[in-house]
Structure 1
Amino acid sequence: MPQLFALLVGILLVFSPLAEEHKEVAAPTLEEARELIVTVQDIVEYYYVDPVDRQAMLEGALKGLFEALDPHSTYLTPQTLALLREANDGHYYGYGIEVSIEEGVVQVITPLAHSSAHYAGIKPGDILVRVDDLAATPDTMEQLIRYIKTASREDRTLTLTLKREASPMPLTVSLQPSNITIDSAQFQSLPHQVGYLKISSFNRQTTSEVARFSDRIRQEGVQQLILDLRNNPGGMFDAAVQVADMFLDAGLIVSTHGRFLDANNDYYASDAAPLGQLEVVVLINEGSASAAEILAGALKDHHKAILFGQTSFGKGTVQSLIPLMGQQGAIKLTTARYATPNGTFIDKQGIDPDVQVLLEKAIERPIMAESEMNGSWLQDSQLAAAYEWLLQPSRE
C-alpha cells in the first residue's frame, strides 16, 4: 500500500503548478519513447485490477498511436487485412457496407451493389450507431470488424442501428451475409447512341472490365457517354489512373505529394485513349471518394468531361499498405496527398460539379437491366439531367 501511495504522489507531482512554467517540452527521443511505453506497460500489468491481455494491450497501444495521425491510417489486424485483400480482389462474403471514420462517427460511404446492405436501403452518409448490441464508434472499430467477420462466417443475421439526417428517429435494418462479387464496372446502351458506364469501385478487375466495355462501345457506335461514379468509395489508386488513361491521350492524370522521396510522383496519360473520342458527362455525389475523385478530377481538369450531381466526398490522400515483418498484420499509412492535374488538393474539400443536380425523391437507378429499358431509369433525376444535356442540339 505505501508503494502504491508513493506512485500516486509521484503522478500528482507531475501535474503540480510548477509544470506551468515548462509548457514547451522537447519531443522525446525514440529511446525515451520506448522506455516510457515499457514503463507504462509494467505499471498496468502490476497494478491493474484484473489480469491483463498483453496482445489486446499491444493492439490498443498501436490504435492509440494512429489516432494521433488521421482517420485513414491504422493498424490492420489479420482479420481486417484479409477483408481488405478480398475487397481488392473483387469478391468476398459479407454484408456489403463501406464505412469510414469521419468527425468522430462511423459513417457509411456506400452500400455495395447487390449486397444485403444495398437491398436494405442503407444510404451514403448514414451514421452507424450499433451493430446488434455493440456500439459503433471509432474506439470500437477493430472489435466491430472482428464481430462482423465472425458473424459472416457463422451466417448470422446482423441488426444495424443507423442515424439518417432526414429522419428524426433511428433506423433499424437486418442484414444477412452473402457472396458478393464486386462487378466494379457495368455498361448499358441508352437510346440515341448514348452509353452508360457505372464504376462502383476500383479493384484489380476494374481496368480489364472497362477495357472490355470499351470494345463494346466502339462496336455499338456510341458517341456520348454517361460515366457514373456516384457512391463509388474508391479503392486501388493504380486502377483509377489506368481508367483515366483510357479517356486521355496526353497530360498529367494526378500527382502525389509526401515527405519521403518515393511519395512524390506524377502520373501521365499514354497516347492510346480508347475512350478518348467520346463526349462524356460524369455523375458524382457525396459518396464519390478517393480513387473515384482522381478519375473525376482528371477528366474535369482536362475539359474531357462535364461533372453533374453533387460535391464529392473529399478524400484526397493516398494510403500505402506496409506488411509487418514477422507479424500477420499490416499498417495502412497515409503517405501522400494527391492533387488533380491543375494542382488542386481536394482532401476534405471534394470536387464541385459543373452542374449541380439534386437527386429528387431519393430515387437512383444507376444500374439498369435490359428489362428496365422502358424509360423508368429517367426517374433518376441526376441521370436524366445528364442524358438530356447530352441530347441538346446546341450548347456551350
Structure 2
Amino acid sequence: MLVHICCSVDSHYFLSELKKLYPDEEMIGFFYNPNIHPRSEHDLRLLDVKRSCEMLGVKLIEGKYDDEVWSEEVRGLEDEPEKGARCNVCFDVRLIESAKLAKSLGEQVFTTTLLSSPMKTQDILFSQGEKIAQDFGLDFVKIDVRSQGGTQRQNELSKKDNLYRQNYCGCKFALQKQREKQGRFPLEFISPIHKQVMKGSIEYRNEVFAKRDRLEREGKPYVLIQQRQLIWRCLFARLEVFGESIKSYVITHSQSKSNIRLGSPSWIRPKNLPLLDGKLGISKRDDTLLLTLQAFNELLGLHYKSLEDLLSSPPPYDLELSLREKIGFPQSLCPIFVVEREWSEDMRVNLQSIFQEEAVFEVLEV
C-alpha cells in the first residue's frame, strides 16, 4: 500500500493505526509536499518523517520539491481561506502524484495521512481520493482516525516520540493569513543574508532537531521542550552622516528608531569596559550607542578585520546577545551600531525592527 505522507505528526499516528487495520500489508511512504514554504521548512519536515518511518519500519520514497509547479496549479486561489478551493487543488496535486507513483510501483491501493489532519476536511478528502483512484484504476483507503479521541491520541504520541510539531499547515498563503489573524509577523518569510542562526528561525529549529537526532544515535537521554521566548528581527537599518549611508552592523535587540538625529557622538572608554583601543560612542540626544569594530572585537574576544567580514559572517547569536551585558545594560533595548571607525560628524539613524513572542523548541541533555 502506498501512503502519501504530509508530515510526521499526522503520519506517525496514521501509519500506526493503518498497520493495525492492515497487519499483512507492506506500507510504502511517499513524502510529496511542494506546497510547503520555505524550502528549509520542507526539508525539516522531511527529516522528521524519515525518523518516524524508521521508527515504524516503513520504507520511504522522497518526492520532488517542485514548488513552481504547485504555485502554478493554485494560481488565482491565493486569497482562498484554509479548507477552501486552494486546499482542494493542493490535495489533487499531491494525490494525483501519489496515484501515479502507486501505478508505476504496481501497487493497487493508496491513501494519505492528510486524513488524520484536523486542518483538513475529511469528507472532501474521501471524495477527491476516491475520484483520483477511479481515474487511475486504483483503490483509495478511507479511514477515520480522528474521531473518538483519535486527534488527542495523535498529539500525545507526537509528544511521547519527540516529533517536530510544526505551527502552520505549510503553504505561504495560509501562513500569511494565519499570522495576520494572530497579529504576528510571519518570521518564516524572512531570513538573514548572513550565516547567523537566530532564535525562532527555521534554521534554528533544524539545529535543535539535528541535536535530538545526534543524542538519540549516541544513546544519550534528553528532553524536547518548547519555551516562550522574545524574538527579534531587523527589517531595515540605516546610519547616516550628512545624508549619506555609512556601513554599519546592528546588534540584536535594537529597538526601532524613526529618523532620529544623534548629533555628534562622544567617543569614550568607560572604566567598567575592558577596552584598550576601541571606543564607545554616545549621544546626548538619544540612547543609541555606537561601537567601533575594535571595541566590538575586544568586548567579545573576536578578531574581525573589517566590517565586511562582520556583515558576511556574524558571531553566534548568543554571543552577540551577551554584548549588552558586557557593556553594562543587559536589559536595554537601545540601538547599538558597530562602525568601522569613530565619526565626529552629525549622525542620523533609521531602524525598523520587530519583537515577537514565539514558542521555541529546545533540546536539553539530561
**Fold match (TM-score > 0.5):** no
Task: Give the TM-score taking structure 1 as reference length.
Answer: 0.20
- TM-score of the superposition, structure 2-length normalised? 0.21
Higher relative CO (Cα under 8 Å, sequence separation at least 6) belongs to: 2
Rg larger for = 2
